[in-house]
């Protein structure tokens, strides 16, 4: 959030971000519903509170650490008075009557919501596109995707139109949009941040994979946000304990070993990760060990198997077709595909495709895949321990053209595997590609060792420049 200026009022700050959103949102279609009038009223109350405070600003900062800070929220989260459709046409009239717990904690800390942002239909695709709000564009190139499912958040933050944001992640839905839009994000250790108050709800074993976390332009905002969003659980992470990077063990895994389901990692991303390794070794005097982990080759199969597994009660997770049927007629995927070809479907091709894929999934997990999962879990937990940090590509490709992910649907497995393993991951930008598109890397740590990946992200922000303003060819803040 950077240093405060005593001469700037909360109203002026909020109005500046409103002006910015009104300038760029017609180009990027990131915010789908605003609450500007209410935000300005809340900002005026903040200014009055500061003026009347007799104990000094330090007292307010301790009690309300986000006082007056503008925030945006993924539309999949409940924000009182705002829609909560998750891009489903049958939920278009649904308005939240209360806040999701994570949103409530940020508001209680003084944050002022400006509105809600776009996501993929039912939060399960690489592109933030649905038939209710349309498609969201990348601020670095309007013809490129923003990722999903928290793509609206990624885009609005990348465009410099919000200070901080909140997203959810069950397969990379925080990290992929952060990567494509050149910002920071964090998937916390499992069980730290409350996942309630978002749609669709997790079912089966999915609650153990879903994470709610912060998204922002500046790495220094991740720890304050996570400490607030985690509530009492955040104490388990010792977030404010100083980390000596020189005492950590660093590892770099350049790719997943060559799965035939996933694209090869682009040379520019491989080079960027190598530059991180060189910088760590030069600045910190550490030795970064390069590894190849064979089980990562089966990341998609592991993710798919675990996502389809029944919960402790023995009940299978809610199918995607059932979620698509919410509030309307039952959806038959094959019939829906036929309607799509005729231009009559109310669902995106990606959503229909996901529902079709589920029809062919086996209800009996492969013993080989389960063995790979258990082996990978054990190997990474032993490797990372309490002082290990691993670098891994965020995605094999930089931001693709709109609709192109339909041809590479399994590339998300580079992020999705860490949801299954329950490990904390910080997404860190690493400058821009030759095409002017964001580069980045995932920083992985052991369970409950979030502070290690967060501290590494803070260092890499200083070393590589962090968030870069979109160029003159797109949006110039």
Catalytic residue among 85, 128, 173, 189, which? Answer: 173
Using an 8 Å Cβ cutoff, are 417 and 302 in contact? yes
* 3-class secondary structure, 334: helix
Count Cβ atoms below 10 Å from residue 58 Cβ, excluding itself. 9
**Separation of alpha carbons 273 and 426, rounded Å:** 14
Count Cβ atoms below 10 Å from residue 372 Cβ, excluding itself. 20
User: Is 173 marked active-site?
Assistant: yes
Bridge partners of residue 168, in order along the sequence: 212
**Separation of alpha carbons 152 and 173, rounded Å:** 11
Catalytic residue among 74, 107, 373, 447, which? Answer: 74
Catalytic residue among 85, 149, 161, 345, which? Answer: 149
**Separation of alpha carbons 397 and 389, rounded Å:** 23
Cβ burial, residue 220 (10 Å; 0-12/13-18/19+) = middle
| Helix, strand, coil percentages, rounded to 5, for the chain | 40, 15, 45
The pair of three-digit structure tokens given for residue 350, joined into one six-digit string = 């990606």
User: Is 363 marked active-site?
Assistant: no
**Separation of alpha carbons 149 and 161, rounded Å:** 19
What lies within 8 Å, CB to CB, of 390 at 6+ separation is 250, 251, 252, 253, 380, 383, 384, 443, 444, 445
User: Is 274 marked active-site?
Assistant: no
**DSSP string of 374-436?**
HHHHHHHHHHHTTTEEEEE-S-SSSPPBTTGGGGSTTTTHHHHHHHHHT--EEEEEEEE-TTS
Catalytic residues: 74, 149, 173
């Amino acid at each position: 959030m950077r240093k405060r200026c005593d001469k700037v009022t909360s109203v002026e700050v909020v109005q500046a971000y409103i002006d910015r959103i009104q300038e760029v949102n017609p180009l990027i279609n990131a915010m789908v519903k605003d609450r500007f009038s209410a935000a300005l009223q809340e900002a005026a109350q903040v200014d009055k509170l500061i003026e009347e405070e007799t104990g000094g600003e330090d007292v307010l900062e301790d009690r309300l650490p986000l006082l007056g800070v503008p925030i945006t929220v993924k539309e999949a989260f409940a924000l009182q008075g705002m829609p909560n459709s998750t891009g489903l046409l049958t939920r278009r009239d649904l308005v939240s009557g209360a806040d999701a717990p994570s949103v409530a904690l940020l508001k209680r800390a003084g944050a002022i919501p400006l509105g809600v942002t776009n996501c993929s239909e039912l939060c399960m695709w690489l592109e933030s596109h649905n038939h209710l709000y349309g498609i969201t564009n990348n601020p670095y190139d309007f013809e490129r995707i923003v990722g999903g499912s928290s793509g609206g958040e990624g885009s609005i933050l990348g465009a410099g139109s919000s200070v901080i944001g909140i997203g959810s992640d069950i397969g990379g839905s925080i990290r992929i949009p952060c990567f494509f839009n050149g910002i920071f994000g964090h998937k916390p250790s499992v069980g730290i941040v409350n996942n309630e108050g978002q749609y669709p709800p997790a079912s089966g074993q999915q609650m153990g994979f879903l994470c709610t976390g912060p998204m922002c332009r500046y790495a220094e905002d991740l720890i304050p946000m996570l400490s607030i969003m985690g509530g009492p659980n955040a104490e388990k992470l010792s977030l404010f304990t100083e980390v000596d990077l020189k005492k950590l063990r660093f590892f770099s895994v350049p790719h997943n070993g060559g799965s035939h389901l996933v694209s090869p990692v682009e040379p520019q991303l491989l080079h960027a990760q190598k530059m991180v390794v060189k910088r760590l070794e030069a600045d910190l005097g550490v030795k970064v060990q390069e590894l190849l982990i064979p089980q990562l080759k089966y990341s998609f199969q592991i993710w798919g198997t675990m996502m389809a597994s029944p919960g402790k009660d023995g009940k299978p997770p809610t199918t995607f077709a059932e979620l698509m049927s919410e509030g309307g007629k039952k959806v038959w995927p094959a019939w829906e595909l036929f309607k799509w070809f005729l231009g009559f479907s109310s669902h995106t091709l990606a959503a229909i495709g996901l529902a079709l894929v589920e029809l062919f999934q086996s209800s009996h997990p492969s013993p080989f895949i389960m063995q790979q999962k258990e082996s990978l879990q054990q190997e990474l937990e032993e490797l990372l321990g309490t002082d290990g940090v691993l670098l891994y590509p965020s995605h094999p490709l930089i931001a693709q053209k709109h609709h192109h992910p339909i041809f590479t649907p399994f590339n998300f497995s580079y992020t999705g595997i860490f949801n299954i393993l329950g490990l904390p991951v910080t997404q860190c930008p690493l400058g821009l590609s030759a095409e002017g598109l964001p580069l980045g890397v995932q920083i992985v740590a052991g369970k409950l060792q979030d502070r290690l990946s967060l501290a590494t992200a803070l260092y890499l922000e200083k070393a590589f420049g962090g968030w870069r303003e979109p160029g003159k060819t797109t949006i110039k803040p």
